[in-house]
Amino acid sequence: MALARATQPFAGEARRIAASFDPDDWPFIALALEYGAPIWTNDRDLIRGSLRTGGYRALDTRGLEMLLNGVSWEEIRGYLRRRYCGNP
């Protein structure tokens, strides 16, 4: 599997992170770690996992729009926390 080879250096860490919410999400996390890129998703667990662990970045469509419009990652995290975690 090409994906498994591409993400091999990050597979262990990604599997460890994903184990707490959805073990099947590890390939997405591994790619995010490898490329330093956020995951664009509507998967609430994946977004909450990113907020909880801080090990990778995941955002929804509104968060992506904010990022593309130059909003800081801290502001985007605040928006995501309010929306997905109920934190002010």
In degrees and rounded to multiples of 5, residue 27 shows phi and psi of: -65, -35
What pLDDT was estimated at residue 86? 86
Give this prediction's pTM.
0.86
pLDDT at 5: 61
Q: Mark out the alpha helices in the chain (DSSP H runs).
A: 2-6, 8-18, 26-35, 44-53, 61-68, 73-85
Residue 80 Cα distances to 2, 13, 21, 26, angstroms: 32, 23, 17, 21
Q: Where are the domains of the chain?
A: 7-85
Average pLDDT by stretches of 10, the chain with 88 residues: 65 93 94 94 96 95 98 97 86
Residue among 28, 21, 71, 31 nearest 51 (CA): 21
